[in-house]
Structure 1
Amino acid sequence: MNPGDTAWVLASAALVMLMTPGLAFFYGGMVGGKSVLNMLMMNFICLGVVSTLWLLYGYSEAFGSDVFRGLVGGVSHTLLRATQGTVSGPAGHQIPTMAFVMFQLMFAVITTALISGAIAGRTRFWAWLGFTVLWVTVVYFPVAHWVFSASGFTNTDPSGNSADIGGWIVNRLKAFDFAGGTAVHINAGAAALAVALVIGKRQGWPRTVPRPHNVPFTLLGASLLWFGWYGFNAGSALTAGDLAALAFTNTTIATGAASLAWIIVEQVRDGKPTTLGASSGAVAGLVAITPACGFVGTVGALVIGIAAGVCCALAVSLKFSFGYDDSLDVVGVHLVGGLVGTLLIGLFADASVNPAGGNGLLYGGGVTQLLRQAIAALAVMTYSFLATLLLAWIVDKLIGFRVDREAEVNGIDESEHAESAYDGAFVVSGPVATPAQPRVPAMPQRRQPSPPTRPAPRPRDPYW
């Protein structure tokens, strides 16, 4: 075993774990002040639910020996049995299978949490928890098998022998996905669209659009996501070497370019660059470079980042045209960003930076790889959307997915969790009387002439 690679993968797993609280802050800042705890909880609980399922059968379903033509893993690793061997990284480097198990667990957690942003502010907590159990079982674990489970990749015994046969996208189709553009972002984005359609629109939407209650929270969350994403992308190299350095560099380039591209679109379209735009642009760049970071050079990363910033900035307004209420733009950022990154691999893949990846169309590789990328993206998107639509409908019919109208209008923290994120003094506008101060009767005042009337200013209530 290689101690340096093992340490890098374990550190990367910890970085990816940090992305889930980062996502909670990113989403939490964009919702109302009376619904922020519910948003935080929907993200945080995924760590508990998905980790438990991963132990019971999730890792086996995703990385066990294939049982049906590359569609799903078997039961060989249930309860994490037969994971005492090694996983082969580049150049034959070996890391403990358990390190790989924990690294991939964090992918499953963050993918599930991403969906919550589409249904923010109107979702019953226990319904969400039940949906999470169904979704990772029926959708994420099989799709992870398609994309991540390469044949012979995991060695199931200390001698290094392995008979594992993996998923159809990575082994038969041979589409490239370095760190999860299809399995994570296209998967979560398509699922977010489906569940948003089942639950329906927020009260008053689109006539009234709730204001973010804490934009600094959102910027903090985006920064934590960017930090953790280095583990997400560079850690997927499974070695502390040239490939990890390439993924790290491409992640930085694409993210910065996407953030700039988003705020330029805002300046041209709206006349002002916004903090929310810079944060969302950074996330869009992270999403798009995820599948490509180990297969393209720095120029390709720059173009992918710019394309993601522009396309996602324009895509977030599509919900108003098509009438689906994706509360925090999971579809516009993750589905569209994932499609951009996955497809552009077919153009910018460069064998000189990663011989295992081959060349894309612009590097003399023809259209074959582009077609493979398109088939992989379409397959994951279609399966995730249809399966999630059915699962969300079942949950809604059995236990009800949405809170009642009164709870939604007043904020769902009290109704779902019997808590509030902020003391009343921070929520109720105007002065608050202090009990220690005696009430002094007001002295009679001479009546003054009324000042000239002016139009009343538009009320500002960040805690709508």
Structure 2
Amino acid sequence: MVGSDIAWVLVSAALVWLMVPGLALFYGGFTDVRSTVNTLAMVLIAIAIGGTVWFAVGYSLAFSGHGLIIGDLRAAFFHGVSMTSSSRGLSIPDGAFALFQGMFPMITMAIIAGSVVGRMNFKAFILFLLGWMLLVYVPLAHMVWGGGLLAQMGALDFAGGDVVHISSGVSGLTLALIIGKRKQATTLTVHNMLSVVIGGGLLWFGWFGFNAGSALAANGVAVLAFINTSIAASAGMLTWVMFDLLVFHQVKVAGAMSGAIAGLVAITPGAGFVEPVSAAIMGVVVSLVVYIATTVIKYRMGYDDTLDAFGLHGVGGVFGGLLTGVFATKTLAGTTGLLQGKWHLMGVQLAGIVLTIAVSVVMTWSIAKIVGLIVPLRIGEKAELTGVDLLQHGESLTFTK
């Protein structure tokens, strides 16, 4: 065991955890003020569900056994998980690996909330997340990182393009379509800019642990992933600002933060597999695609993805995964991307994306329908029109003039 590697992975785990309250603040700054508490609650509950289920069975099902789709229960409740040695040939103990990986389902489930805040019954959302983590997140984590189907196919996903962003974005959109539009659907506006900036800043800060920590050691791969994360986010932010200037002749702070997050999503699947110049290109391209998806396509197609969980994470994750197949290099990824003349990786990346989308849509629909038989998926019309904070949580934001 290497002390510096252990320290880095532990710090990275804490950074990923910090992304969840960061996302709560980011989402909360955009939400209708009457539903802000509900937004915070729907994001933060992912910590409780993710942490508990991961400890009980999630880690074992994701990283034990040799199944193509799912693992087994030999490590349930962290049974046999060593705190001093590694069974994976890593320089960190299994306990540190399990802890780090356990932070990812938290932020993944929190992202889903962005599509349905203010109109989904909180009790139903809790039940949905319990089913979703076991039937969507855990199988995808096993297939990509646990030696399952996608890993055996050779799909590249350094830190969660498929497992985190596509799955959460697509599931969020699917859930939003099942529940239906808001009664008073409006365009996305900011009621608390400080919350958006602080929350977005915490997301960006935590993302360094999210991506660079996925190297699972304090080494050159972690340095590359850290650099690529910074470059892609900066390029994404600058691209969004430039297009806001072209379209609106204004620099929108909320847009700048959204552009940075688009760049962060873009580089996640390829953070340790591409060169820095490729990271910059990925940040620019994906930020532009997400800009169009959230400002044009969303409104023309008429779906109500409240806080653009699908636009930012689903669309960004898809294009980030595809561009990883373009820019991956043999030296860094162990396989050659399209830019170096090889088509095979692009086919594998596309197959991984399609499978992730299919699993997310089918299982989200199934889980939602089952939950709907137990409790109503949607809050009552009166609660939605007057705001859900007091009725669902008994709390509200207090403003003083």
Name the TM tier (shorter chain): over 0.9
What does the per-residue CA deviation read over 1:83-118, in whole Å, with 9 as the maximum and x for residues that have no partner?
A: 1164478xx652110001110110011001100000
The equivalent of 2:340 in structure 1 is: 363
Alignment partners' CA distance in 2, 1:358 and 1:253: 23
Indicate conservation of the 8 Å contact 1:251/1:286, yes or no.
yes
The equivalent of 1:420 in structure 2 is: 396
Q: Displacement of 1:276 after TM fit? A: 1.3
The equivalent of 1:443 in structure 2 is: none
Q: Displacement of 1:210 after TM fit? A: 6.0
The equivalent of 1:77 in structure 2 is: 75
Q: Displacement of 1:273 after TM fit? A: 2.4
Q: Secondary structure at the match of 1:176?
A: coil
Indicate conservation of the 8 Å contact 1:147/1:167, yes or no.
yes
The equivalent of 1:313 in structure 2 is: 291
Q: Displacement of 1:264 after TM fit? A: 1.6
The equivalent of 1:187 in structure 2 is: 167
Q: Answer yes or no: is 1:279 the counterpart of 2:245.
A: no
The equivalent of 1:40 in structure 2 is: 40
Q: Secondary structure at the match of 1:291?
A: helix
Work out which of the residue numbers 94, 97, 114 in structure 2 matches 1:117: 114
Work out which of the residue numbers 95, 98, 110 in structure 2 matches 1:101: 98
Indicate conservation of the 8 Å contact 1:32/1:210, yes or no.
no
Aligned length: 399
Work out which of the residue numbers 162, 169, 177 in structure 1 matches 2:150: 169
Amino acid in the other structure paired with 1:249: I
- Structure 2: give runs of 5+ residues left out of the alignment: none
Alignment partners' CA distance in 2, 1:86 and 1:230: 26
Indicate conservation of the 8 Å contact 1:186/1:335, yes or no.
yes
Q: Secondary structure at the match of 2:92?
A: strand
Indicate conservation of the 8 Å contact 1:176/1:357, yes or no.
no
Alignment partners' CA distance in 2, 1:88 and 1:244: 21
Amino acid in the other structure paired with 2:107: I
Greater helix share, 1 or 2? 2
> Rg: which structure is higher?
1
Alignment partners' CA distance in 1, 2:37 and 2:54: 26
Question: What TM-score, normalized to structure 1?
Answer: 0.84
Indicate conservation of the 8 Å contact 2:42/2:117, yes or no.
no
The equivalent of 2:143 in structure 1 is: 146
Q: Answer yes or no: is 1:30 the counterpart of 2:8.
A: no
Q: Secondary structure at the match of 2:43?
A: helix
Amino acid in the other structure paired with 2:306: S
Q: Please, which moves more after superposition, 3-12 or 394-403?
A: 394-403
Alignment partners' CA distance in 2, 1:200 and 1:66: 39
Alignment partners' CA distance in 1, 2:35 and 2:383: 10
Q: Compared with structure 1, are the counterparts of its residues 328 and 409 closer, same or farther at alpha carbon in structure 2 (3 Å cutoff)?
A: same
Alignment partners' CA distance in 2, 1:333 and 1:138: 23
Runs of 4+ in 1 over 6 A off after TM superposition: none
Amino acid in the other structure paired with 1:416: Q
Matches within 5 A, 1:209-288: 209=187, 211-288=189-266
Q: Answer yes or no: is 1:382 the counterpart of 2:358.
A: yes
Indicate conservation of the 8 Å contact 1:260/1:309, yes or no.
no
The equivalent of 1:16 in structure 2 is: 16
Indicate conservation of the 8 Å contact 1:9/1:99, yes or no.
yes
Q: Answer yes or no: is 1:329 the counterpart of 2:299.
A: no
- CA RMSD, aligned part only? 1.4
Q: Displacement of 1:349 after TM fit? A: 0.8
Matches within 5 A, 1:420-459: 420-423=396-399, 425-426=400-401
Alignment partners' CA distance in 2, 1:357 and 1:399: 48
What does the per-residue CA deviation read over 1:194-219, in whole Å, with 9 as the maximum and x for residues that have no partner?
A: 100111101132xx436322122111
Alignment partners' CA distance in 2, 1:221 and 1:369: 35
Amino acid in the other structure paired with 1:406: K
Q: Compared with structure 1, are the counterparts of its residues 105 and 200 closer, same or farther at alpha carbon in structure 2 (3 Å cutoff)?
A: same
What does the per-residue CA deviation read over 1:423-463, in whole Å, with 9 as the maximum and x for residues that have no partner?
A: 4x45xxxxxxxxxxxxxxxxxxxxxxxxxxxxxxxxxxxxx
Alignment partners' CA distance in 2, 1:360 and 1:209: 39
Indicate conservation of the 8 Å contact 1:19/1:110, yes or no.
yes
Question: What TM-score, normalized to structure 2?
Answer: 0.96
Q: Answer yes or no: is 1:351 the counterpart of 2:351.
A: no
Q: Secondary structure at the match of 2:251?
A: coil
Indicate conservation of the 8 Å contact 1:259/1:278, yes or no.
yes
Q: Compared with structure 1, are the counterparts of its residues 93 and 417 closer, same or farther at alpha carbon in structure 2 (3 Å cutoff)?
A: closer
What does the per-residue CA deviation read over 1:158-181, in whole Å, with 9 as the maximum and x for residues that have no partner?
A: xxxxxxxx21111x2101110010
Alignment partners' CA distance in 2, 1:103 and 1:375: 27
